[in-house]
Chains A and B, each alone.
Chain A
Amino acid sequence: GAGVSQSPSNKVTEKGKDVELRCDPISGHTALYWYRQSLGQGLEFLIYFQGNSAPDKSGLPSDRFSAERTGGSVSTLTIQRTQQEDSAVYLCASSLGGSTGELFFGEGSRLTVL
């Protein structure tokens, strides 16, 4: 497809389990972002990748969160030992370059931690 693709669209897991969320950005987009939206909140920045530069991880809420981007394309966000407060919609976005402007978002992965 032409848009940002995320999987799974829905994930229900038990507290303490690890989860992996995947993002396939738009082809040719060098910048990739992860945001999350908790219930009733705005979009919270998590991490940013730009080309081969070191990612900006300043938004990751704890060391249980990590992300990687392989080959400058697909990205995986991993949450270890999930907690109930991790429940949110995790949104991936990509853009043509490093300057923020028009971000193209995927449909998100809704994570529910029981």
Chain B
Amino acid sequence: DQQVKQNSPSLSVQEGRISILNCDYTNSMFDYFLWYKKYPAEGPTFLISISSIKDKNEDGRFTVFLNKSAKHLSLHIVPSQPGDSAVYFCAAYSGAGSYQLTFGKGTKLSVIP
């Protein structure tokens, strides 16, 4: 039973346009969500996070939106750059002090110059 779902395995976007990566979750106990970015042959790196008390968090070109009622979050990248081409993982956990991140399968983003 997959608790964190990224239904799009891949996404292609033109440089300069907006990239929107989506993530759905089923566990209503999740209250903290993160996005990680992974380049080939490297470990994932933390990108941005959001707690369930917020519906938006912004960091430069990256914005994460959370819709708790729909159990859905999305990552917006604008403008997209070729260096953003990577696999993006959505992750979630429940409770302060909790330690087990549950990851989605990832979405491979390709930004075309």
Contact = CB atoms under 8 A, between A and B. Distances in A.
B106 A42 contact: yes
B99 A31 contact: yes
Interface of A: 4, 31, 33, 35, 40-45, 48, 50, 56, 58-59, 91, 93, 98-108
Contacts, number: 64
Given A40-B105, A42-B105, A48-B100, A107 B41 contact: yes
B47 to A, nearest CB: 10
B89 A101 contact: no
B89 A42 contact: yes
Interface in B94-110: 96-106
Interface residues of B, number: 26
Contacts of A50: 99
Contacts of B44: 43, 91, 103, 105
Interface in B50-108: 89, 91, 93, 96-106
Given A40-B105, A42-B4, A42-B106, A102 B99 contact: no
